[in-house]
């Protein structure tokens, strides 16, 4: 009898607790990631790479936002370990199709610091410059 009452009370309690409906937000998913997760330093490397592709100041990478024929991609290249950081290196670019076939054109190289969750652009003069978004 006590078990039945306990099960009944548990069932009634669970039935009364309705989950809240998700509120509609007009913000883009990238802005939500940027505001919430970067503060908590829990953003994934894939999300950082995606943020870079969608919000880059690099003209070649930013062109994909206006030219629908260009689809930017990130190709993982290597992992670089130093005394103060661990970097994942990505080649950012797009595919081009011509008479000789299809080839990948590099638009930018980025280094993602997995410890500090920061993105660095690799410049032509072989320096890493922190990307501010």
The tens place of each residue's pLDDT in the chain, 133 residues long, gives 666 666 666 766 666 555 555 555 555 555 555 555 544 456 789 999 999 999 999 888 988 878 888 888 999 999 999 999 999 999 999 998 888 888 999 999 999 999 999 999 999 999 999 998 7
Indicate whether 39 belongs to any domain.
Answer: yes
User: Which helix (H) or strand (E) is 26 found in, with range?
Assistant: none
Give me the residues paired with residue 78 across strands: 89
DSSP state of 38: H
Indicate whether 8 belongs to any domain.
Answer: no
pTM of the model as a whole: 0.65
Indicate whether 4 belongs to any domain.
Answer: no
Indicate whether 11 belongs to any domain.
Answer: no
**What local confidence, expressed as pLDDT, does residue 40 receive?**
46
**What local confidence, expressed as pLDDT, does residue 92 receive?**
95
Indicate whether 12 belongs to any domain.
Answer: no
Indicate whether 59 belongs to any domain.
Answer: yes
Dihedral angle computed from the Cα positions of residues 72, 78, 82 and 87, in that order, rounded to the nearest 10 degrees: 30
Indicate whether 57 belongs to any domain.
Answer: yes
Residue range of the domain that includes 96: 28-130
Report yes or no: 119 and 48 within 8 Å, Cβ to Cβ: yes
**What local confidence, expressed as pLDDT, does residue 31 receive?**
56
**What local confidence, expressed as pLDDT, does residue 131 receive?**
94
* Structure tokens given for 86: 């661990």
Structural domains counted in the chain: 1
**What local confidence, expressed as pLDDT, does residue 42 receive?**
60
Indicate whether 53 belongs to any domain.
Answer: yes
Give the helix, strand, coil percentages of the chain, each rounded to 5.
35, 30, 35
Cα separation, 55 vs 131, in Å, equals 10
């Amino acid at each position: 009898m006590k078990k039945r009452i306990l099960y009944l009370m548990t069932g009634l309690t669970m039935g009364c607790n309705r989950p809240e409906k998700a509120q509609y937000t007009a913000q883009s998913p990238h802005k939500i990631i940027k505001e919430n997760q970067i503060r908590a330093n829990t953003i994934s490397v894939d999300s950082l790479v995606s943020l870079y592709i969608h919000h880059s100041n690099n003209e070649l990478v930013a062109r994909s936002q206006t030219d629908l024929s260009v689809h930017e991609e990130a190709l993982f290249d290597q992992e670089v370990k130093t005394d103060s950081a661990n970097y994942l290196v990505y080649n950012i670019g797009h595919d081009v199709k011509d008479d000789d076939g299809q080839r990948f054109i590099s638009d930018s190289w980025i280094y993602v610091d997995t410890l500090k969750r920061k993105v660095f652009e690799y410049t032509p003069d072989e320096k890493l410059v922190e990307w501010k978004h």
